[in-house]
Structure 1
Amino acid sequence: MKVVLNNSCLVQPAEPTWNGPMPLTEFDQTDVIAHVQTIYFYRPSETWLTQKGAIFTTLETSLSRILVHFYPLAGRLRWLDGARLVLECNGKGVQLMEAETDADLDILGDFTASPYFHHLIHPINYKAPIEEIPLVIVKLTRFKCGGIALCYSISHAVVDGQSALHLISEWANMARGDSLRDVPCLDRTLLRAGDPPIPISDQPCFEHEQFDPLPLLIGQDNFENERKKETTAAMLKLTKIQVEMLKNEANRTRPFNDGDRVFTRYEAIAAHIWRCACRARGHIYEQPTSASLCLDVRNRVQPALPRKYFGNAIVDVAATGCSGDIVTRPLGYAASRIREAINMVSSEFVHNTLDYLKNLQDLSTLQDIHGMKTNQGPFYGNPNLGIISWLSLPLYGLDFGWGKEIFMGPGTYVCDGDIIILPGHDEDGSLIVSLCLQAGYIEDFKNFFYEDIGKLGISSMLEKSNGEK
Structure 2
Amino acid sequence: MDSPSVKTVSECFVKPESMPEDSKQAYHLSHFDLAMISVQYIQKGHLFRKPKEAHNETEFMNTLLQKLRDSLSIALVHFYPLAGRLVTSKAENPKCYSIFVDCNDSPGARFIHATTGLSVSDILGSKYVPLVVQSFFDHHKAVNHDGHEQSLLSVKVTELVDGIFIGLSMNHAMGDGSSFWSFFSSWSEIFRAQESDKNGGFRITNPPALRRWFPEGRGPILGLPFNHPDEFIRRYESPVLKERMFHFSSETIRRLKSQANQECGTTMISSFQSLTAFMWRSVTRARRLPLDQETSCRVAANNRSRMKPPLSGNYFGNCISAVRTSSKAGDLLENGLGGAALKVHRAVVGHTSEKIDETIDHWFKSPYVYHIDRLFEPLSIMMGSSPRFDKYGCEFGMGKAVTLRSGYSHKFDGKVSAYPGREGGGSIDLEVCLVPEFMEALESDQGFMSLVSS
What amino acid maps onto 2:80 in structure 1? Answer: Y
Alignment of 1:124-273 (within 5 A): 124=140, 126=142, 129-145=146-162, 147-176=163-192, 177=194, 179-181=202-204, 182-189=206-213, 192-196=214-218, 229-254=239-264, 260-273=266-279
RMSD: 2.6
**SS at 2:207 equivalent:** coil
Change in CA separation of 1:3 and 1:384 when aligned onto 2, cut-off 3 Å: same
Q: How do residues 59-98 of structure 1 correspond to structure 2 at under 5 angstroms? A: 59-78=68-87, 85-90=99-104, 92=106, 93-98=108-113
* Fraction of identical pairs, as percent: 25
Partner of 2:371: 367
1:388 counterpart (384, 389, 392): 384
Counterpart check, 1:404 vs 2:400: yes
TM-score normalised by length of structure 2: 0.83
Please give the alpha-carbon distance, in whole angstroms, between the structure 2 residues aligned to 1:320 and 1:185: 35
Residues 1:423 and 2:420 are matched in the alignment: yes
Please state whether the residue corresponding to 1:157 is helix, strand or coil.
coil
Q: 1:242 to 1:129 in 2, by over 3 A?
A: closer
Tell me which amino acid in the other structure corresponds to 1:67: L
For 1:17-55, what per-residue CA distance to the aligned partner results, in whole angstroms no more than 9, with x for missing partners? 413322222222335842111121112324444322111
Shift in CA distance, 196/103, structure 1 to aligned 2, threshold 3 Å: closer
SS at match of 2:187: helix
Q: Residue 109 of structure 1 corresponds to which residue in structure 2? A: 124
Tell me which amino acid in the other structure corresponds to 1:250: A
SS at match of 1:248: helix
Change in 2 beyond 3 A, CA 1:428/1:132: same
Report the AA paired with residue 119 of structure 1: S
**CA gap 1:453/1:85 in 2 versus in 1, 3 angstroms:** same
From the superposition, tell whether residues 168 and 91 of structure 1 become closer, same or farther in structure 2 (CA, over 3 Å): farther
User: Residue type matched to 1:10 in 2?
Assistant: F
Letter in 2 for 1:417: G
Name the structure 1 match of 2:225. none
Question: Runs of 5+ in structure 2 lacking a partner?
Answer: 220-235
Partner of 2:24: 19
Q: What's the TM-score once normalised by structure 1's chain length? A: 0.80
- CA–CA separation in structure 2 for the residues paired with 1:305 and 1:425: 30
Distance 1:132 1:238, change over 3 A: same
Shift of 1:389: 4.5
Within 5 Å, give how 1:282-321 maps onto structure 2.
Answer: 282-321=288-327
Deviation at 1:171, TM superposition (A): 1.1
Report the secondary structure of 1:27's partner residue: helix
What code does the residue aligned with 1:392 have? R
1:40 aligns with 2:42: no
Distance 2:102 2:405 in 1: 30
Structure-2 change in CA distance of 1:334 and 1:193 (3 Å): same
Q: Provide the rounded CA distance (Å) in 2 between the counterparts of 1:102 and 1:454.
A: 35
Q: 1:451 aligns with which of 425, 447, 452?
A: 447
State how far apart, in whole Å, the 1-side matches of 2:114 and 2:160 are.
9
Q: Residues 227, 44 of structure 1: CA spacing in aligned structure 2 closer, same or farther, 3 A cutoff?
A: closer
Post-superposition offset of 1:173: 1.9
Deviations 1:390-436 (A, max 9, x none): 12111112222232222223334541121112221111332111111
Whether 1:121 and 2:145 are equivalent positions in the alignment is no
Amino acid at match of 2:421: G
Instruction: Give the CA deviation at 1:66.
Output: 1.3
1:2 and 2:24 matched: no
- 8 Å CA contact 1:173–1:180 kept in 2: the answer is no
2: CA distance between counterparts of 1:166 and 1:12? Answer: 19
Give the SS at the match of 1:338.
helix
Look up the match of 1:212: none
| Equivalent position amino acid for 1:272 in 2 | F
**What secondary structure sits across from 1:57 in the alignment?**
helix
